[in-house]
Structure 1
Amino acid sequence: MKTILVATDFSERSDRALRRATLLALQFGATLALVHVVDDDQPRRIVEAERDAAAALLRQTAATLEEMDGVVCRTRVVLASPFLGILEAVADMSPDLLVIGPHRRQVLRDVFIGTTAERVIRSVDCPVLMVNAPPAGPYGHIMQTTDLSDCSRDALRRFSLLGIGAGARNSLLHTFHAPALRLVMGHVMQKEDREKHLADERRDAALELSRFVASVDIGQARQVLRYEASPAPHEILKAANEEDADLIVMSTHGRSGLLKMLLGSVTEQVFRTAQIDVLAIPPQREE
């Protein structure tokens, strides 16, 4: 990685993102780009005052990071809505990674148009890291996830190229379905029949996962299978907790359908509720 872009609103949430980005910059010898977005839908004098104050604070932060951590920093203030301002900064700077803090939940706004974070991960070409937990050092256990789709395969390759997983324990999680157990017949099946059906589905899922892993070079990652007894986001978060992972890696695109249109993607739902860091990898843009 050469450039890491950090979007900050100067809150404690953003401080977590900045610290994680600093650790990554030190690990990879990357340059930090600090960006703050000033909402330009305000009276001009207020916009100008906030712009000047933000620029001064960014310069002070950059100077401190360069002095204390030896990290090279660039700064920029963008006048726009938070969503469009981040997109503009990403387009202009072409970072290898965008780092953001956890969103502030606004219930009605989230329901109808999604959070700024969710809108960003749908729109940018670079990986997006949401830092939810206070950084305490390099990642120890990274849980990569897959739905066995082509987009997931590409995302795992992009993650491998980032190098974040080097030196950490890596696992690859796939959640699988057992359709008969979700149908009406599943409630009347004998316990032995249910267990046999689940074992058959697990065996088939293990074969599919093995074939998938053989088609993509993701290094040494332990394969983890989990029955999707509850919605996929819940199972992913439960697995991450049980495996003591401190980073979840997901693709921003995968298998789609009506359920995704109504409820949002699995990645976006994990973004909303995770207590640990989440890295969303978009598909590689075709030139």
Structure 2
Amino acid sequence: MYLQKAIQKGYHLSDSIRQGDIHMVGDGSTILVGIDFSYCSGLALKKACEFLDGKGGQIIALHVVDESFIKKCTEHRFGNEADIKKELFLEAKSKLKNFVRRATKGIQCSSIQLSVTQGIPYIEINKKAVEFDADMIIIGSCAKDSDMDNIFFGSTAERVLRFITRPVLCVPPEFDLKISRKHIN
């Protein structure tokens, strides 16, 4: 049922989702949602809430502080690595809390656990999916065409799909035209 609805709405599903696997998102399920504070990650969080509506599962809202950004800050002498990490983590935790509150305003949502970690985003998403024993990963698929890494190596969503062994749902930006971007950002 979920798979058919997802395909009808144009979601991109990883090869690891098969017709028989989709029942994994049900009572007591854990869904990991990758949050990069974009419009699409807000839509992904809303979709996770929809999947678990009334089922008592848990959502892990994960933000990854990109280690390459920390390295660039250190190289440009914006501060020492420890201070930069601390500041970025504190800012990310606060921003994640506010983002989740705004994105889920007015909708029924299961328990949401906030998680901030440091590393390479697609690797950390995969590691945390295993660590939290996530039944599914939901991630937004808003590509930034101007990002050279995305042009040559693929977006974070594409990289997650390449290396994960769990079901992944990629939510495109146009999944629900009734949702205004101002409600999420």
Quickly name the TM-score band, shorter chain normalised: 0.7 to 0.9
Residue 61 of structure 2 is matched in structure 1 by 172
Give the distance between the partners of 1:198 and 1:237, measured in 2 at CA. Answer: 21
Q: Is the 8 A contact 1:178 1:198 kept in 2?
A: no
Residue 138 of structure 1 is matched in structure 2 by 24
The structure 2 residue matched to 1:261, chosen from 114, 127, 151, is 151
Aligned-residue offset at 1:275 = 1.0
Structure 2 runs not aligned, ≥5 long: 179-185
Aligned-residue offset at 1:165 = 8.4
Aligned-residue offset at 1:180 = 6.5
Residue 280 of structure 1 is matched in structure 2 by 170
Aligned-residue offset at 1:158 = 3.4
Q: Is the 8 A contact 2:36 2:64 kept in 1?
A: yes
| CA deviation profile, 1:71-116 (whole Å, cap 9, x unmatched) | xxxxxxxxxxxxxxxxxxxxxxxxx213xxxxxxxxxxxxxxxxxx
Q: Helix, strand or coil: the match of 1:221?
A: strand
Kindly provide the amino acid, as one letter, of the partner of residue 252 in structure 1.
S
Q: Helix, strand or coil: the match of 1:250?
A: strand
Q: Helix, strand or coil: the match of 2:103?
A: coil
Residue 155 of structure 1 is matched in structure 2 by 44
Aligned-residue offset at 1:147 = 0.6
Kindly provide the amino acid, as one letter, of the partner of residue 274 in structure 1.
I
Residue 236 of structure 1 is matched in structure 2 by 125
Change (3 A) 1:203 1:151: same
1:226 and 2:117 correspond: yes
Aligned-residue offset at 1:211 = 1.5
Q: Helix, strand or coil: the match of 1:166?
A: coil
Change (3 A) 1:194 1:208: same
Give the distance between the partners of 2:148 and 2:169, measured in 1 at CA. Answer: 25
Identity of aligned residues (%): 21
Please give the residue correspondences for 1:172-251 in structure 2 after superposition, counting only pairs within 5 Å.
Answer: 172-177=61-66, 181-183=70-72, 185=74, 193-217=80-104, 218-227=109-118, 229-230=119-120, 232-251=121-140
Please give the residue correspondences for 1:43-122 in structure 2 after superposition, counting only pairs within 5 Å.
Answer: 96-98=5-7
Q: Is the 8 A contact 2:140 2:157 kept in 1?
A: yes
**Structure number with larger C-alpha Rg:** 1
Q: Is the 8 A contact 2:143 2:150 kept in 1?
A: no
Number of residue pairs aligned between Structure 1 and Structure 2 = 167
Give the distance between the partners of 1:184 and 1:255, measured in 2 at CA. Answer: 21
Aligned-residue offset at 1:181 = 3.7
Higher relative contact order (CA 8 A, sep 6+): 2
Structure 1 vs Structure 2 CA RMSD: 3.3
Kindly provide the amino acid, as one letter, of the partner of residue 166 in structure 2.
I
Give the distance between the partners of 2:94 and 2:126, measured in 1 at CA. Answer: 24
Kindly provide the amino acid, as one letter, of the partner of residue 276 in structure 1.
R
Q: Helix, strand or coil: the match of 1:253?
A: coil
Q: Helix, strand or coil: the match of 2:10?
A: coil
Kindly provide the amino acid, as one letter, of the partner of residue 34 in structure 2.
T
